[in-house]
Amino acid sequence: MGQEDQSYRIYTAKMEADKALNSLKGILQGINIDKKVNTAELQELDKWCEKHQNLIRKEPFKDFMHTIRMAIRGDENPEEAVQDMFWLCQKYEDDNVYFDALTADLQTLQGVCHGILADGEINTKEIKQLEIWLDNNQHLSNYYPYDELRTVLLKILKDGLVDDEEQILLKAYFKEFVKLNNTDLTKKINEETESVLVKGLCAYDPDINFDGTHFTLSGNFKRGTKKEVSNRIESLGGKIEKNVVLKTNYLIIGADANDCWAFACYGRKVEKALNLRKKGQELTIINELDFWDIADDLN
């Protein structure tokens, strides 16, 4: 591409992104008309990825392309993948300006946490100031990592202090979304937090009753495919629901983290689960690792 073409593309970048998004939305809508997704349709989505490869670093395109490739490999249910992407298209289209502001604020939050972690130490004063920042930015509620941070801080600041054990917990949580440039410090923090598992919005040390209860799966799973997880649940007496519905008792979240969550909120299923919980439904969100800990004990 010549310099003149590159300069032109700078000025047309937003138009190009909007056009790509609209074309994808139309393709997804057309594919989803019969509620079935076949190989040829997946190949067409793959061609869309190839055509718009230059947008892969932009949100939400990175998320779209990742999901499409997962579906092509068979790691994601194609019908669910299409529904998830169409949901995100609509969400982005409806709230484009709002998302721009949200993205900036979420990046600021990430920067604040980065600054707190920059010296490898976290003290009470810093966490109290972070709590004030969170209180002043409640519009970020339902966006990762805002809710998780608030939950963690509420527990830690219950006694008004951050002790040594709580400092380790905070480091473990911060490192999930903060990438320090100091490799030696990063290594030190990784060693300090090696045994700490951060669960965020998922239930802590959950109980699972498999007998006749209903499960929905969301995200990318580290251990096995969704089909394998579903088979294990059914072997223990549970029932699988493709989507979060009123009778869903448990939503299992894959432990293979998705970098795009900061843009796409929690994802279609998790968002619905959170809304149902706000309305009083007893629905437990469980991390994949916790699920396997419990399932393995039942062998």
Residues 188 and 115 in one domain: yes
On whether residue 74 sits in a domain, the answer given is yes
Question: 107: domain range?
Answer: 98-192
Q: Which of 78, 94, 110 is the last residue of a domain?
A: 94
**214: amino acid identity, one letter:** H
Residues 34 and 107 in one domain: no
Residues 172 and 227 in one domain: no
DSSP state of 95: T
Give the Cβ contact number of residue 90 at 10 Å.
13
Residues 89 and 102 in one domain: no
Is residue 244 within 8 Å of residue 278, measured between CB atoms?
no
Alpha-carbon distance of 248 to 214, in angstroms, equals: 5
Residues 34 and 81 in one domain: yes
Q: How many CA atoms lie within 13 A of 211 on its CB side?
A: 1
On whether residue 245 sits in a domain, the answer given is yes
Structure tokens of 107? 């990046």
Q: Coil, strand or helix: which one is 189?
A: helix
pLDDT per residue, tens digit, the chain (299 aa), is 454 444 434 444 667 777 788 888 888 888 887 788 888 888 888 888 888 888 877 777 887 888 888 888 887 788 888 888 888 777 776 655 545 666 667 778 888 888 888 888 889 989 998 999 999 988 777 666 777 788 889 888 889 899 999 999 899 888 877 777 788 888 999 899 887 766 555 665 678 999 999 999 987 788 888 899 999 999 999 999 988 999 999 999 887 654 444 334 456 787 788 778 767 788 888 888 889 999 998 87
Residues 146 and 125 in one domain: yes
Structure tokens of 212? 């006749």
On whether residue 198 sits in a domain, the answer given is no
On whether residue 204 sits in a domain, the answer given is no
On whether residue 119 sits in a domain, the answer given is yes
Residues 102 and 188 in one domain: yes
Dihedral (Cα; 52, 11, 104, 84), 10-degree rounding: -20
Q: Which of 94, 110, 127 is the last residue of a domain?
A: 94
Residues 133 and 169 in one domain: yes
Q: Which of 38, 63, 94 is the last residue of a domain?
A: 94
Omega within 30 of 0 (cis) for the link into 145: yes
For residue 271, the domain's CATH number is 3.40.50.10190
Strand pairing partners for 69? none
On whether residue 203 sits in a domain, the answer given is no
- Count the domains in the chain: 3
